[in-house]
């Protein structure tokens, strides 16, 4: 029987319901910093970062008063935010920020606000790390004087190309001098072993003067969603022709999602395992 998209979708779309298991970690600062640190000047020079007991969204929050080119909040110890993202079928990173003051020589300014995921293992060419980063917005006192939630939205950590809204560092475009990922490093390569996560105003490739920052952050969250239905390749909780099509494309591209036997090779056994799992349906 020929497999037509319409027919197979109609036949198989009823097989599945919710096929993602979510694992969320949220740092509310009620249990300390949980590995997060903000800028702190030597001997207090330039200002510093403390956890305030009240005034967050709600309760405790991380509060920074600092004068520098930019501010960064760094975590290199909390495994909930680090390690291999590609074992999840999708990831979402969110946080709340409030800007009390963001000014340059007394005049209000806006600054980029982004999350950057750094990997030391793929670093090359004299760069200390490769990274991928997502620009949330430009923040300012005028726009962010109340607690504001920012999210990367759900992204596929196994994507080879940078998803929309993401940039890379670790090399330089020879024509534009813009930062970019090294040619042989993919989005998924960086996310297969994240060593440091950073929220920062320092957008790669941009430079800023000494700026007064008075900023609060709260509710730093990561959600790792794991498919409990591997043949649902496109993660829409339905098994249909589009998954077959997505599997074949992933197989042709040697995407890890199509390595159903998990042996790092793409061959007949993966096709067979996929078709078998597809025929079995999902819980």
How far apart are CB 28 and Ca ion at their closest, in Å? 4
The nearest distance, CB 266 to Ca ion, in angstroms, is: 6
Taking the least distance from each CB to Ca ion, the nearer of 169 and 211 is 169
CB of 264 to Ca ion, least distance (A): 7
- Closest approach, Cβ 85 to Ca ion, in A, equals 11
Phi and psi based region of residue 125 (left: phi greater than 0; alpha: psi -120 to 50; beta: remaining): left
Q: For the CB of residue 5, give the shortest distance to Ca ion in the complex, in Å.
A: 13
Q: Which residues bind Ca ion (CB under 5 A)?
A: 28-29, 56, 59-61, 119, 121, 193, 195, 218, 232, 234, 236, 238, 243, 259, 261, 263, 265, 270
Taking the least distance from each CB to Ca ion, the nearer of 39 and 56 is: 56
Query: Is there a contact between 24 and 219 (Cβ–Cβ < 8 Å)?
Result: no
Least separation in angstroms between residue 130's CB and Ca ion is 9
Q: Which is nearer to Ca ion, 41 or 58 (CB)?
A: 58
Q: Which residue is nearest to Ca ion (CB)?
A: 193
Nearer Cβ to Ca ion, position 143 or 261?
261
Q: What is the 3-state secondary structure (H, E, C) of the chain?
A: CCCCHHHHHHHHHHHCCCCEEEEEEEECCECECCCCECCCCHHHCCEEEEEEEEEECCEEEEEEEEEECCCEEEECCCHHHCECHHHCCEEEEEEEEEEEEEEECCEECCEEEEEEEEECCCCCCCCCCEEEEEEEEEECCCCCCCCEEEECCCECCCCCCCCCCEEEECEECCCCCCEECCCCCCHHHHHCCECEEEEECCCCCCCCCCEEEEEEEEEEEEEEEEECCCCCCCCCCCCCHHHHHHHHHHHHCCCHHHCCCCCCCCCHHHHHHHHHHHHHCCC
Nearest CB to Ca ion, comparing residues 162 and 217? 217
CB closer to Ca ion out of 23 and 121: 121
Q: How far is the CB of 134 from Ca ion (least distance, A)?
A: 18
- By beta-carbon proximity to Ca ion, the closer residue of 149 and 261 is 261
Which residues share a beta bridge with 99? Answer: 215
């Amino acid at each position: 029987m020929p497999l037509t998209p319409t027919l197979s979708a109609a036949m198989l779309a009823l097989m599945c319901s919710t096929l993602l298991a979510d694992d969320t970690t949220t740092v509310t600062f009620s249990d300390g910093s949980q590995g997060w640190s903000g800028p702190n000047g030597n001997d207090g020079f330039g200002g510093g970062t403390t956890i305030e007991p009240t005034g967050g969204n709600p309760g405790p929050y991380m509060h920074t008063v600092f004068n520098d080119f930019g501010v960064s909040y760094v975590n290199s110890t909390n495994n909930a935010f680090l390690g291999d993202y590609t074992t999840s079928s999708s990831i979402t990173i969110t946080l709340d920020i409030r800007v009390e003051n963001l000014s340059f020589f007394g005049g209000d300014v806006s600054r980029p606000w982004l999350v950057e995921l750094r990997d030391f293992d793929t670093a090359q060419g004299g760069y200390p790390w490769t990274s991928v980063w997502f620009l949330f917005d430009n923040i300012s006192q005028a726009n962010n004087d109340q607690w504001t939630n920012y999210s990367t939205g759900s992204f596929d950590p196994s994507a080879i190309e940078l998803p929309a809204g993401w940039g890379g560092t670790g090399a330089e475009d020879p024509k534009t001098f813009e930062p970019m990922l090294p040619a042989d490093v993919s989005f998924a390569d960086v996310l297969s072993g994240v060593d440091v996560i950073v929220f920062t105003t320092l957008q790669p490739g941009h430079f800023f003067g000494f700026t007064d920052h008075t900023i609060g952050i709260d509710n730093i969250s990561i959600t790792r969603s794991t498919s409990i239905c591997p043949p649902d390749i496109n993660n829409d909780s339905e098994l249909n022709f589009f998954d077959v099509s997505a599997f074949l494309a992933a197989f042709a591209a040697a995407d890890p999602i199509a390595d159903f036997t998990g042996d790092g090779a793409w061959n007949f056994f993966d096709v067979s395992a996929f078709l078998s799992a597809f025929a079995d349906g999902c819980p």
